[in-house]
Chain A
């Protein structure tokens, strides 16, 4: 499998507007890479540059060893990638079968290959029975599935998906997500999404973009690194003596509500026992001690707010 994506300081400017600035990332073979960011963050622009649809202003990028921006390599890149754009872009006056067959022909797939692939993907996505129905009559979810099948018809190494579950009902979104997980075994997937939960569930690596790349790493890494964690201690009762003793520990963001105390903690293992000891010495009775990790949503919102 080829399917390696690499960018170094990839930048795109539209006149005075910088849409994407100095993005450097690497996606390994077989990875699902989640690209998160608010509207206008440059996610679609990045995908378009990587798919050789628009030119880069500066920096470099390679897909499967081929250089984007090089005229000869651009054609080779387009042969090994599949694109599911944010707007499905089907030919609405063609049947589902004809939509896929046309794309199969573009990629020089033989008639038997086309037939086999169309059957396989339409079956997997539950659309085989609708193969002779005009795409224009399909529901949003069905169109999205058909667009995914279209992007896979030539068995690409890398699949770019731009918001594949946006505007889908929960059931269709679930089907698409499950299908992506199924594809994960054989393809490298670059997934633009707004859906944090989806990114957390599907992706091996996540990057948060807001013109510049804010952070990149595994979902777990992002949760830990970006904000740290919070310790929540429940007491039988709190009093001034306990609170005074805790104030001497200089805890970050200490909050006191009813009989519950919470504070930010960088390393719970080395810090929490000191807090518990201080409470006990002040006569308090600890009921529970919990360490709560920040969610990907916390990380996302923090980074996006910081960058705007």
Chain B
């Protein structure tokens, strides 16, 4: 596996993405919503409630951890559009066959496609997370008396859970893309990737699981195991012969 060759494939995809408004929107919108909307909601709700109930200083950390989990959901969402376009787009343009006839290996092409979906997502989500931290700290400092972010829980969420979620979404998108013929269908099926993340979120809301450091590490471990399984399925789907003879 030559990383330089995988990077070539990714670089070409970046060039293509630059001309795709839809992909830009899918990369930018979610981080903006999370980073700007949540601090505004907190500020507005705090003003109305006067700092009681859920928005009391005692409850805020739990609430903020729950909010933080939306960064992971975003990280699972963004690659859907990119990876679906990247692979289904090639199917529509029928540009995979000449690419497969080059000395690139299947693994290098697949890795290139994964990098193309992974990097913009991580950049967007980390940028969004930075703004999110600053915004939340700004609106909660008065109540808490300290900056809640950064902290170890958020660090694990960003550095462990977000990459695991992105990889899961990319691999899942590759599998879905191999079975459908248009980007819309890929996105429709792809949306199912939300389910495990929403389940985790609601489980935390009803206190079945806790989104503290231990809880996040356990979740990351389970999702990593799913990633490994998806890796084997996606590499099996991304074989030259499969692509040319069995892909729809």
B-contacting residues of A (Cβ < 8 Å)? 14, 48, 51-55, 75, 78-79, 81, 83, 85, 87-94, 98, 102-103, 105-107, 134, 147, 150-151
A79 touches B101 (CB 8 A): no
Specify which of A75, A90, A92, A93 lies most central, judged by the most chain B CB atoms within 10 Å of its CB: A93
Is there contact, CB below 8 Å, between B101 and A81?
yes
The one of B5, B15, B97, B240 in contact with A83, judged by C-beta atoms closer than 8 angstroms, is B97
Complex Cα distance, B5 from A78, in Å, reads: 15
B97 touching A106 by the CB < 8 A rule?
no
Known contacts A51-B101, A54-B245, A78-B103, then 5 further A-B pairs from the complex at CB < 8 Å, ordered by chain A residue: A14-B245, A52-B240, A93-B20, A94-B15, A107-B102
Given contact pairs A89-B94, A92-B93, A93-B19, A106 touches B102 in the complex (Cβ within 8 A): yes
Interface residues of B (CB under 8 A from A): 5, 8, 12, 15-16, 19-20, 93-105, 240-241, 244-245
CB B3 to nearest CB in A, in angstroms, measures 14
With beta carbons under 8 angstroms apart, the residue of B16, B97, B104 that contacts A87 is: B97
The answer to whether B8 and A105 have CB atoms under 8 Å apart is: yes
- Residues B5 and A106 in contact, CB atoms below 8 Å apart: yes
A117 CB to closest chain B CB, in angstroms? 15
19 A–B pairs (Cβ distance < 8 Å), ordered by A: A53-B97, A53-B100, A54-B245, A55-B241, A83-B97, A83-B98, A85-B94, A85-B97, A85-B101, A89-B95, A89-B96, A90-B93, A90-B95, A91-B12, A92-B93, A93-B19, A106-B8, A106-B103, A134-B19
Q: Cα distance A91–B92 when bound, in Å?
A: 10
What CA separation (Å) do A75 and B19 show in the bound complex?
32
In the bound assembly, the distance between CA atoms of A75 and B8 in angstroms comes to 17
B244 and A48 form a contact (CB under 8 A): yes
Tell me, in angstroms, the Cα distance from A93 to B90 when the chains sit together.
11
Give Cα distance in the complex from A24 to B101, angstroms.
Answer: 22
Given contacts A53-B244, A90-B95, contact A83 B8 (CB under 8 A): no
Please give, as numbers and ranges, the residues of chain A lying within 8 Å of B97 by CB-CB distance: 53, 83, 85, 87, 89
- A20 CB to nearest chain B CB (Å): 13
B103 in contact with A151 (CB, 8 Å): no
Could you tell me if A103 and B102 are in contact, using CB atoms closer than 8 angstroms? yes
User: Contact: B93 with A91, CB < 8 Å?
Assistant: yes
With a CB–CB cut-off of 8 A, which chain B residues contact A106? 5, 8, 102-104
A78 to B96, CA, bound (A): 15
Q: Is the CB of B8 within 8 A of A93?
A: no
Residues of chain A lying within 8 A (CB to CB) of residue B99: 89
Q: Which residue of the partner chain, among A83, A87, A93, contacts B101 with CB atoms under 8 Å?
A: A83
The residue in B93, B94, B105 that gathers the most chain A C-beta atoms within 10 A of its C-beta is B93
**A32 → B minimal CB distance (Å):** 20
Select from chain B the residue with minimum beta-carbon distance to A154.
B102
Minimum CB–CB distance for B55 against chain A, Å? 47
Q: How far is the CA of A55 from the CA of B102 in the complex (A)?
A: 16
- The distance in angstroms between the C-alpha atoms of A297 and B94, with both chains bound, is 32
Q: Hey, which chain B residues are within 8 Å of A79, CB to CB? A: 103
* In-complex Cβ contact of A98 among B5, B15, B98, B103 (8 A): B15
In the docked arrangement, what's the CA distance between A93 and B21, Å?
Answer: 12
Given the interface pairs A83-B101, A150-B98, the reply to whether A94 lies near B12 with Cβ below 8 Å is yes
Task: Give the chain A neighbours of B241 by CB distance below 8 A.
Answer: 53-55
Nearest Cβ on chain A to B82's Cβ, whole angstroms: 14
CB-defined contacts of A48 to chain B, threshold 8 Å:
244
A85-B102 in contact (CB<8A): no
Tell me the minimal C-beta distance from A194 to chain B in angstroms: 19
Bound CA–CA A132/B153 (angstroms): 49
B16 touches A94 (CB 8 A): yes
